[in-house]
Amino acid sequence: GAILINSVAEDKEEWNNHTISYTEQITTMSKWIKERIAFLDTRINSKF
């Protein structure tokens, strides 16, 4: 429902954090991707 709709909107947000180094950006994005996968796995698996 609403959580996934908001989630789709977040997927399309542009990365605008230019105050951290490239390495920090990669680390932050990698962490976000891992959390995103875990979130989606939880949401999808709760439906089955």
| pLDDT at residue 46 in the model | 86
| pLDDT at residue 4 in the model | 58
Are the C-beta atoms of 25 and 17 separated by less than 8 Å? yes
Which phi and psi angles does 14 have, rounded to 5°?
A: -85, 145
pLDDT in tens, the chain (48 residues): 555 566 666 666 666 767 888 899 899 889 989 998 998 899 888 876
pTM for this one? 0.57
CA-to-CA distance for 48 and 41, rounded, in angstroms?
Answer: 11
Please count the other Cβ atoms lying within 10 Å of the Cβ belonging to residue 43. 13
And the tokens for 47?
A: 């439906």
